[in-house]
């Protein structure tokens, strides 16, 4: 779900700031639309889908160094197409924006880079999976994206992480067809929530070894938001005991939020949660980069008997890129314990 | 209202009866406005061009990578660098022809442009349009106008191609068209080729080195000093502004003289108007309305004149700015609304200043007072005291500015104070001279001659002051320019000793050429130069001023000929040892360096401490310069530019060497020039720099001649009552006109005499203060007595020409007019 702001990020990064989150609800001229019943095929669907308007590959990691200090790391590649086709050379209508960030309890560093498709500065290949832009890359050897390596370099930080997972990919919604509104907006959406991480992370040239867990998302669509939807709150959680949970709510200025989620058990079996099963409730607002954001949440899933509170590692985990958004590591406690990432847009 | 209109009509009727006076007034105001607005237009034009240069997407504001051998390079290098973490953005530049004109086509990639440039690119939907297809061609509004095309047009390039739809971008330089990089590659027929990579962010310290990524193919070029242009050229424009102001003041002298006379002559009319019931209010409004109308009329005429002056001087100014500072000016004069407003404003202010004293005097006039200045001798004494006091004040101001002020502005203020003080004081020596003559005079006619001249002094003094200003400026500027010309020519002879100067296209070419030259017997010495620049960021030397460092090999060409101002014994030997440097005069002044001072030069390999062992003049250079040993420079700047060469050869074999070089290496020789042509080019830049000054100087003199003419003409008419008694006493009209002529010539001659010391003082001020503060170099102070004679003759000629018409009129005046003086009560 995260990354829905991609067109924004692109728009923001280089195109219009004015388009706003609602821009994602724009008509998708000539672009393909996700269809229910469509079967995702791997590794083919790890690659880019140029006939869709927007797409993203998103990795967030909850890490610890040898002294037990917590870190968050983010790596995101967005694709945005001006026309539903691929192309060679500068005529390619594909453009890319990438964000990388590193978070500690006191620091949040981020970087952004941009590229045009078609010339070799950025691109995504399916088999073997490889996504790259400048000297940032994400590649994997296995069909479930195991045997992966991810790297980003920015002026004040850099990381190289090795990722491994035994579990299969988790398809959200109806076999990967993920609805986003009552009026039919949807995307194709799958995750690899079970990455074990081993790597190195440097902040201001001080490098440390890190280990932990990471969550990878791949999502694509052409028109994922309804016109009245202005932003969303999204959670990815690694629960102690090995299960994983993904929840989001899309906020509308006309109707109740559109809520959705998946529970992925420790063996990798994914199950979509019913809408009336999920309760997301902001507990505390805080001023972040000049906006009021709900940084503490109560999360309940009735069918799982789950009632937890989510708290960010760093309440200032704000991506001050073109159009800003919150993306930061969280810890959860209550009926269950765990860690994960929280993304909030459109505030 | 009616009263006002009648009063206005009555007052205006005066001009109908005295069209000459009206003409003088009109011309005075118009000229003042014209010279001022002409200079303002030139300055505006230049500033706009600098803004454009800085605003041409700011592409010059980022450092960049270019092909080491010049020309284009493959796009793969861009990809390789990006993939290695270098934040570079591709540029492809070329020229296209639209119709019969050439345009600079610049292909950019908006997503990777440096922030300073991407901020000026279209955003939102407009950016999507720019990326296309079909894309957009961004151009300045002027470019669209020049092309005669509207937004959206797709002009044809050659036979097959078309530009993408045109769109307006305010920030671009005229003549520049910006398209997407892909469009540029197609239109310029350079698929997958680039001409430049802008460095958007400095590479991280641990990023792979440039050479490790792409070998030696690209070299780094620092950001332009474009934003510095305005700063560098400030002094040039201040010079122009000062001249504009001087001309304005001289123009106002004319207007003031004419106004004064008109008010004087209209006193009876005004008295009559008041006597028959016109209210003071109506009269005041009428006078102000008249003044405003006149100012507006003259102002508009002046603005047209100003435009013509600016248009005529623009090519010279553009050439000299380009030669001196590398600043490019738009060829076409653009007129901003602010220029019009300020010009007309200056005309209005000028009119008010010129008319103020007359206006006040008129309005204070008691209704029944007799409208004629009596007791002039007493009045004149007061007037002289007042002039003397004002002059002393102005001179004091000049001295204060000189002693207390630091900058160029203070230099100009002192100059203005000096000129103004001297001009105001001028009547004092003239009056003293006349009094002396009067006392010594024997015959009654001679006595009358001096007494009458003394009485005329206030009326003529303004015109004479204008003449003094023009003459002394002429002497001052003349000495400065002539002195500079000689110094410059001599300096060029000493500095340009080598017979041939050339620049290799790349270092590989440079090596090949060097090997080839070494085998030629007609080449006596090959002197490779090496150039580096202190970066603005790292410069401990000076943050705001570019400094160039030139490395030259030890050779007799330099040690025996290179002109130095001050030097230590064995300066060249110390330089060759690698721990000493010669410093240009400008840099020495700016950094307050002298012989024996030490300087830390920031280099890529750490600070380099050198001793200053010599100061040399570097006339015309906008940057500061240091000269060091070539090997020492290369060891500290491994990446320094090593493409420039000086060749020594016999003068007669130089053309053969040049020809052979060009035919052997073709494009491997980027530029080649022989000594004579280089001198010629330098002198041309010099001449064009002072062409504007000379033109304004000449115009000022013309204006002062007009001032004198206007004053004499108006005075002549007023003087009939004074001359009539003499005529009645038997002095013939011929003798009277001869006396008049002698008097005017005498005045002019006396003024010219005063103008010589004043001119010299001015020249000294220019050479020793203004020039040093403006450009950083001091010129030797030369005096040119032949110039004084010229100026003297010019003064007499001006006076004679100005006096001719009024005196002819006097010689032919009808006896009846003279007789009428006795009949009229006046």
pLDDT tens profile B560-619: 888 888 888 888 889 999 889 999 888 888 778 888 888 888 777 778 888 999 999 887
Q: Do B128 and A15 lie within an 8 Å CB cutoff?
A: yes
CB B270 within 8 A of CB B7: no
Alpha helices (H) in B539-619, listed in sequence order: 556-561, 571-577, 585-591
Burial of residue B209, with CB atoms counted within 10 A of its CB: 0-12 exposed, 13-18 middle, 19 or more buried: exposed
In whole angstroms, give the CA distance from residue B227 to residue B325. Answer: 12
Residue B369 or A20, more confident: B369
Q: Do A15 and B124 lie within an 8 Å CB cutoff?
A: yes
pLDDT mean over B540-547: 55
Helix (H, G, I), strand (E, B) or coil at B601: strand
Residue with tokens 């957009």: B136
CB B68 within 8 A of CB B219: yes
Using a CB-CB distance cutoff of 8 angstroms, which residues of chain A are in contact with residue B85?
134-135, 153
* Residue B824 confidence (pLDDT): 57
Largest CA distance in chain A: 54
Count Cβ neighbours within 10 Å for each residue of B557-588 and write b for 16 or more, e otherwise. bbeeebbbeeebeebbebbbebbbbbbbbbbb
pLDDT mean over B163-179: 84
Residue-wise pLDDT for B616-626, tens only, equals 988 766 677 88
* Residue A49 confidence (pLDDT): 95
* Residue B378 confidence (pLDDT): 59
* Residue A339 confidence (pLDDT): 96
* Residue B379 confidence (pLDDT): 66
Interface test with chain B among A112, A121, A153, by most B beta carbons within 10 Å = A121
Note which residues in 197-226 of chain A have CB less than 8 A from chain B. 205
Interface test with chain B among A90, A100, A135, by most B beta carbons within 10 Å = A90
Residue A8 has pLDDT above 50, yes or no: no
* Residue B764 confidence (pLDDT): 86
* Residue A203 confidence (pLDDT): 94
pLDDT mean over A262-280: 93
Q: Check the CA dihedral B159-B160-B166-B171 and report its sign.
A: negative
B586 φ/ψ angles, rounded to the nearest 5 degrees: -60, -50
Residues making up chain A, counted from first to last: 347
**Out of A249-263, B204-218, B319-333, which region has the weakest mean confidence (pLDDT)?**
B319-333
pLDDT mean over B769-787: 77
Distance to chain B for A108, nearest Cα, Å: 19
| Of B545, B548, B503, residue with least CA distance to B672 | B503
CB B547 within 8 A of CB B587: yes
The two tokens of residue A122 are 């950025």
Q: Do A155 and B201 lie within an 8 Å CB cutoff?
A: yes
* Residue A22 confidence (pLDDT): 36
Q: Rounded mean pLDDT of chain B?
A: 80
Q: Do B125 and A16 lie within an 8 Å CB cutoff?
A: yes
**Out of A108-122, B195-209, B712-726, which region has the weakest mean confidence (pLDDT)?**
B712-726
Cβ of A316: how many Cβ atoms within 10 Å?
17
Residue B232 has pLDDT above 70, yes or no: no
pLDDT band, residue A23 (cuts 50/70/90): very low
In whole angstroms, give the CA distance from residue A156 to residue A153. Answer: 8
Report the 3 state secondary structure along B379-424: HHHHHHHHHHHHHHHHHHHHHHHHHHCCCHHHHHHHHHHHHHHHHH
In whole angstroms, give the CA distance from residue A231 to residue A251. Answer: 6
DSSP letter assigned to residue B621: -
* Residue B722 confidence (pLDDT): 78
DSSP letter assigned to residue B767: I
- Chain A residue closest to B206 (CA)? A205
| Of B266, B255, B252, B295, residue with least CA distance to B363 | B266
**Out of A75-79, A99-103, A175-179, B294-298, which region has the weakest mean confidence (pLDDT)?**
B294-298
Residue with tokens 């990388």: A100
CA of A65: how far to CAs of A19, A59, A208, A224, in Å?
40, 19, 6, 37
* Residue B745 confidence (pLDDT): 85
* Residue A133 confidence (pLDDT): 97
* Residue B619 confidence (pLDDT): 74
The two tokens of residue B201 are 């962010």
Q: Mind giving me the DSSP string for B780-822?
A: -----HHHHHHHHHHHHHHHHHHHHHHHHHHHT--HHHHHHHH
Using a CB-CB distance cutoff of 8 angstroms, which residues of chain B are in contact with residue A11?
124
Using a CB-CB distance cutoff of 8 angstroms, which residues of chain A are in contact with residue B192?
89
Q: Check the CA dihedral B651-B656-B661-B667 and report its sign.
A: positive
CB A150 within 8 A of CB A192: no
The two tokens of residue A241 are 């005991």
Q: Do B82 and A11 lie within an 8 Å CB cutoff?
A: no
In whole angstroms, give the CA distance from residue B363 to residue B3. Answer: 16
* Residue B326 confidence (pLDDT): 55
Residue A128 or B456, more confident: A128
Residue-wise pLDDT for B381-427, tens only, equals 777 888 889 889 988 988 888 888 777 778 778 888 888 888 888 88
| Of A142, A111, A149, A138, residue with least CA distance to A127 | A142
CA of B12: how far to CAs of B6, B19, B289, B683, in Å?
10, 11, 10, 53
Q: Please report, to the nearest 10 degrees, the dihedral formed by the alpha carbons of residues B296, B302, B308, B311 taken in order.
A: -90
Would strands B101-108 and B176-180 be described as parallel, antiparallel, or unpaired? parallel
Residue-wise pLDDT for A276-313, tens only, equals 999 999 999 888 888 899 999 999 999 999 999 999 99
Instruction: Delimit the domains of chain B by residue range.
Output: 1-55+240-372, 64-221, 495-682
Instruction: Delimit the domains of chain A by residue range.
Output: 6-344
| Of B404, B407, B37, B38, residue with least CA distance to B234 | B407
- Chain A residue closest to B134 (CA)? A91
pLDDT mean over B42-54: 66
| Sequence-ordered list of residues with C-beta below 8 angstroms from that of B694, at least 6 positions apart, any chain | B477, B481
In whole angstroms, give the CA distance from residue A4 to residue A179. Answer: 13
Residue-wise pLDDT for A181-204, tens only, equals 888 889 999 999 999 999 999 999
- B interface toward A at CB cutoff 8 Å? 75-76, 78-79, 82-85, 87, 109-112, 118, 123-125, 127-128, 131-133, 180-183, 185, 192, 201, 204, 206
Helix (H, G, I), strand (E, B) or coil at A179: strand
CA of B666: how far to CAs of B142, B429, B646, B660, B662, in Å?
38, 70, 18, 10, 5
Interface test with chain B among A7, A119, A156, by most B beta carbons within 10 Å = A119
The two tokens of residue B581 are 């440097």
Largest CA distance in chain B: 106
**Out of A109-118, B118-127, B505-514, which region has the weakest mean confidence (pLDDT)?**
B118-127
Which helix (H) or strand (E) element contains residue A158?
strand A157-164
Q: Check the CA dihedral B255-B258-B261-B265 and report its sign.
A: negative
Residue-wise pLDDT for B652-698, tens only, equals 888 888 888 888 887 677 677 788 877 777 777 667 666 767 776 77
In whole angstroms, give the CA distance from residue B311 to residue B332. Answer: 8
Residue B693 or B537, more confident: B693
Residue A340 has pLDDT above 70, yes or no: yes
Complex-level ipTM: 0.92
pLDDT mean over B357-363: 75
Residue B53 has pLDDT above 60, yes or no: no
* Residue B539 confidence (pLDDT): 42
Distance to chain A for B191, nearest Cα, Å: 9
pLDDT mean over B262-274: 78
* Residue B734 confidence (pLDDT): 86
The H helix count followed by the E strand count for chain A is 1, 23
**Out of A33-37, A181-185, A199-203, B455-459, which region has the weakest mean confidence (pLDDT)?**
B455-459
Rounded to 5 degrees, what angle do the CA atoms B194, B200, B206 make?
105
The two tokens of residue B562 are 């290179």
In whole angstroms, give the CA distance from residue A218 to residue A75. Answer: 12
Which residues face B256 on adjacent strands?
none
**Out of B11-15, B70-74, B314-318, B557-561, which region has the weakest mean confidence (pLDDT)?**
B314-318
Residue B199 has pLDDT above 60, yes or no: yes
In whole angstroms, give the CA distance from residue B459 to residue B380. Answer: 11
pLDDT band, residue B204 (cuts 50/70/90): confident
In whole angstroms, give the CA distance from residue A46 to residue A77. Answer: 13
Residue A117 has pLDDT above 90, yes or no: yes
Helix (H, G, I), strand (E, B) or coil at A56: strand
pLDDT mean over A77-99: 91
Distance to chain B for A118, nearest Cα, Å: 11
Residue B373 has pLDDT above 60, yes or no: no
Residue B476 or A162, more confident: A162
| Of B294, B292, B290, B313, residue with least CA distance to B40 | B313
SS3 content of chain B, % helix, strand, coil (to 5): 65, 15, 25
The two tokens of residue A222 are 């052409």
Alpha helices (H) in B18-152, listed in sequence order: 19-55, 76-83, 115-118, 125-131, 141-147
Looking at domain A6-344, what is its CATH homologous superfamily? AttH-like domain (2.40.370.10)
Residue A41 or B780, more confident: A41
């Amino acid at each position: 779900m995260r990354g829905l702001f991609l067109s924004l990020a692109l728009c923001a990064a280089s195109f219009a700031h004015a388009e706003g989150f609602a821009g994602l609800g724009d008509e998708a001229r000539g672009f393909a639309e996700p269809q229910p019943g469509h079967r995702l095929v791997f590794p083919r669907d790890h690659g880019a889908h140029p006939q869709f308007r927007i797409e993203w590959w998103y990795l967030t990691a909850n890490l610890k160094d040898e002294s037990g200090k917590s870190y968050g790391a983010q790596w995101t590649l967005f694709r945005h197409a001006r026309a539903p086709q691929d192309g060679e050379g500068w005529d390619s209508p594909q453009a890319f924006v990438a964000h990388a960030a590193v978070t500690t309890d006191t620091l949040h560093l981020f970087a952004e880079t941009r590229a045009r498709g078609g010339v070799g500065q950025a691109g995504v290949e399916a088999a073997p999976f490889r996504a790259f832009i400048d000297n940032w890359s994400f590649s994997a050897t296995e069909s479930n994206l195991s045997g992966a390596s991810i790297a980003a370099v920015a002026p004040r930080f850099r990381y190289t992480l090795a990722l491994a997972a035994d579990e299969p990919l988790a398809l959200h919604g109806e076999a990967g067809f993920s609805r986003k509104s009552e009026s039919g907006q949807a995307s194709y959406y799958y995750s690899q929530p079970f990455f074990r991480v081993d790597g190195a992370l440097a902040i201001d040239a001080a490098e440390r070894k890190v280990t932990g867990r990471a969550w990878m998302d791949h999502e694509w669509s052409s028109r994922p938001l309804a016109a009245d939807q202005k932003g969303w709150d999204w959670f990815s959680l690694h629960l102690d005991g090995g299960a994983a949970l993904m929840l989001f709510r899309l906020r509308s200025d006309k109707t109740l939020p559109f809520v959705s989620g998946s529970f992925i058990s420790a063996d990798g079996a994914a199950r979509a949660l019913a809408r009336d099963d999920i309760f997301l409730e902001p507990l505390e607002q805080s001023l972040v980069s000049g906006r009021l954001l709900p940084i503490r949440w109560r999360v309940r899933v009735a069918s799982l008997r789950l009632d937890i509170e989510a708290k960010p590692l760093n309440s200032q985990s704000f991506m001050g890129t073109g159009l800003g958004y919150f993306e930061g590591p969280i810890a959860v406690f209550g009926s269950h314990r765990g860690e994960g990432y929280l993304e909030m847009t459109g505030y | 209202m009616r009263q006002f209109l009648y009063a206005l009509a009555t007052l205006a009727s005066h001009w109908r009866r005295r069209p000459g006076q009206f003409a003088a007034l009109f011309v005075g105001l118009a000229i003042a406005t014209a010279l001022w607005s002409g200079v303002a237009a030139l300055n505006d034009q230049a500033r706009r061009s600098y803004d454009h240069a800085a605003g041409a997407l700011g592409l010059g504001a980022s450092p960049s990578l270019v092909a080491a051998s010049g020309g284009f390079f493959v796009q793969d290098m861009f990809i390789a660098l990006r993939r290695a973490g270098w934040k570079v953005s591709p540029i492809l530049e070329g020229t296209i022809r639209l119709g019969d004109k050439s345009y600079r086509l610049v292909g950019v990639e908006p997503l990777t442009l440096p922030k300073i440039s991407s901020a000026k690119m279209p955003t939102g939907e407009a950016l999507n349009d720019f990326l296309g297809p079909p894309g957009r061609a961004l151009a300045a509004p002027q470019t669209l106008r020049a092309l005669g095309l509207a937004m959206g047009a797709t002009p044809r390039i050659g036979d097959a191609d078309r530009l993408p739809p045109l769109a307006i971008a305010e920030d671009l330089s005229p003549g520049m068209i910006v398209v997407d990089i892909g469009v540029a590659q197609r239109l310029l027929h350079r698929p997958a080729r680039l001409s430049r990579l802008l460095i958007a962010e400095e590479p991280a310290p641990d990023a792979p080195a440039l050479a490790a990524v792409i070998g030696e193919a690209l070299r780094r070029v620092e950001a332009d000093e474009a934003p510095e242009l305005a700063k560098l050229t400030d002094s040039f424009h201040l010079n122009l502004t000062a001249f504009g102001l001087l001309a304005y003041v001289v123009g106002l002298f004319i207007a003031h003289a004419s106004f004064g006379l008109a008010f004087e002559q209209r006193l009876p009319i005004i008295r009559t108007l008041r006597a028959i019931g016109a209210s003071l209010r109506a009269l005041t409004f009428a006078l102000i309305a008249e003044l405003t109308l006149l100012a507006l009329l003259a102002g508009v005429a002046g603005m047209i004149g100003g435009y013509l002056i600016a248009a005529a001087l623009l090519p010279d100014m553009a050439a000299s700015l380009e030669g001196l500072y590398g600043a490019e000016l738009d060829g076409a004069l653009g007129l901003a609304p602010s220029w019009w407003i300020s010009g007309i404003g200056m005309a209005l202010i000028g009119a008010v200043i010129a008319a103020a004293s007359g206006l006040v005097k008129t309005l204070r006039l008691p209704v029944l007072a007799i409208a004629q200045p009596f007791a002039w001798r007493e009045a004149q004494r007061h007037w002289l005291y007042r002039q003397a006091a004002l002059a002393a004040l102005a001179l004091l101001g000049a001295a204060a500015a000189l002693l207390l002020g630091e900058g160029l502005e203070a230099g100009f203020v002192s100059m203005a104070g000096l000129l103004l003080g001297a001009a105001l004081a001028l009547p004092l020596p003239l009056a003293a001279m006349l009094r002396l003559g009067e006392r010594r005079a024997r015959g009654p006619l001679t006595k009358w001659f001096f007494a009458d001249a003394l009485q005329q002094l206030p009326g003529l003094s303004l015109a004479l002051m204008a003449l003094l200003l023009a003459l002394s400026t002429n002497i001052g500027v003349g000495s400065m320019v002539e002195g500079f010309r000689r110094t410059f020519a001599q300096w060029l002879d000493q500095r340009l000793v080598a017979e041939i100067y050339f620049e290799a296209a790349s270092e590989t070419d440079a090596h090949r050429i060097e090997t080839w030259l070494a085998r030629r017997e007609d080449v006596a010495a090959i002197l490779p130069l090496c150039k580096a620049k202190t970066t603005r960021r790292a410069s401990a030397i000076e943050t705001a001023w570019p400094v160039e460092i030139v490395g030259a090999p030890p050779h007799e060409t330099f040690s025996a000929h290179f002109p130095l101002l001050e030097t230590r014994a064995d300066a060249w030997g110390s330089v060759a040892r690698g721990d000493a440097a010669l410093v240009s005069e400008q840099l020495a002044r700016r950094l307050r360096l002298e012989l024996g001072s030490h300087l830390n030069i920031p280099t890529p390999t750490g600070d380099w401490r050198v001793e200053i062992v010599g100061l040399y003049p570097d006339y015309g250079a906008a940057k500061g310069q240091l000269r060091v040993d070539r090997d020492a420079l290369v060891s500290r700047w491994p990446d320094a530019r090593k493409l420039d060469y000086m060749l020594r050869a016999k003068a007669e074999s130089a053309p053969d060497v040049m020809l052979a070089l060009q035919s052997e290496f073709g494009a491997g020789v980027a530029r080649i020039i022989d000594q004579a042509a280089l001198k010629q080019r330098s002198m041309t830049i010099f001449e064009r720099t002072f062409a504007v000054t000379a033109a304004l100087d000449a115009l000022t003199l013309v204006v002062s001649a007009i001032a004198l003419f206007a004053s004499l003409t108006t005075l002549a008419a007023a003087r009939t009552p004074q001359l009539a008694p003499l005529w009645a006493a038997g002095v013939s009209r011929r003798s009277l006109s001869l006396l008049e002529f002698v008097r005017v010539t005498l005045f002019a001659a006396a003024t010219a005499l005063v103008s010589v010391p004043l001119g010299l003082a001015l020249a000294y001020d220019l050479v020793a203060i203004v020039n040093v503060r403006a450009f950083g170099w001091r010129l030797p102070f030369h005096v040119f007595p032949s110039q004084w004679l010229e100026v003297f003759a010019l003064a007499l000629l001006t006076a004679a020409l100005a006096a001719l018409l009024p005196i002819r009129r006097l010689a032919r005046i009808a006896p009846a007019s003279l007789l009428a003086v006795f009949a009229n009560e006046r």
